Amino acid sequence: MKLAPGYLSPEDQAALVDALRAALADAPLFTPTMPRTGKPFSVRMSNLGPLGWVSDAAGGYRYQPTHPVTGRPWPPLPEILLKAWNEVGGYALPPEACLVNWYGAGARMGLHQDRDEADLGAPVVSLSLGDTALFRIGGARRSDPTRSFRLASGDAMALLGDSRLAFHGVDRVMAGTSTLLPGGGRINLTLRRVSPPVG
């Protein structure tokens, strides 16, 4: 795992929030639901890039090129995210999806693996904006021991190598720890490469 505290300057954070505001006007936040049960996630989400990750009771976890509500293609990836992919992830092929997860009051993310991608050799790169999150990470098995640490606004992280399939999640978001987002809350941006490498 690679951690880059304070990777985004305050100016870069503000610029990225402005870019996200414009993108979400075209691809609004939606509430994904669990496969089979249809139980709603506590986070709301959208996507940027050629592909977007979605989940619902009928189709399960998957990537698709269009927004599940509007049917329109996802907005393009801002240049600042492509730069983060290169600098933090260090992977030769470009990202194809950026999940935009919005954590409001009480939102969390249970322990899970990111394994819906065909290219598991590519890193998962994430950027945090807004309130600080208590992030938990373990090993390749759900029963492995875990440790927790804080991810503050502007921090970047990459799951790569042995940590690529580590179970991880967000236990809670600490309200009032950032003034970046006018209404509070946290945005997590997760960059992923989906397609398998050629050759």
DSSP codes joined into one string, 75-87: PPPPHHHHHHIII
Please give the mean pLDDT across all residues of the chain. Answer: 96
pLDDT at 199: 64
84-113 confidence digits (pLDDT tens) = 999 999 999 999 999 999 999 899 999 999
The single-letter DSSP state of residue 104 is -
Q: Rounded to an integer, what distance in angstroms lies between the CA atom of residue 109 and that of residue 119?
A: 23
The single-letter DSSP state of residue 24 is H
Smallest CA-to-CA distance from 83 within 7, 6, 172 is with: 7
Average of per-residue pLDDT across 49-72:
96
Average of per-residue pLDDT across 138-144:
95
- Burial class of residue 58 in the structure, from the number of CB atoms within 10 Å of its CB (0-12 exposed, 13-18 middle, 19+ buried): exposed
Q: Rounded to an integer, what distance in angstroms lies between the CA atom of residue 190 and that of residue 98?
A: 5
- Two tokens, residue 13: 């954070």
Q: Rounded to an integer, what distance in angstroms lies between the CA atom of residue 188 and that of residue 126?
A: 7
Residue 165 pLDDT level (bands cut at 50, 70, 90)? very high
Q: Is the pLDDT of residue 198 over 90?
A: no
Residue 196 pLDDT level (bands cut at 50, 70, 90)? confident
Average of per-residue pLDDT across 9-14:
98
Q: Which residue spans within 44-105 are E strands per DSSP?
A: 44-48, 52-56, 60-64, 97-103
Q: Measured in whole angstroms, how far is the alpha carbon of residue 68 from the centre of its chain? A: 18
Q: Is the pLDDT of residue 136 over 80?
A: yes
Smallest CA-to-CA distance from 67 within 34, 25, 15, 107 is with: 25
- Structural fold of domain 2-192: Jelly Rolls (2.60.120)
Residue 66: strand pairing partners: 73
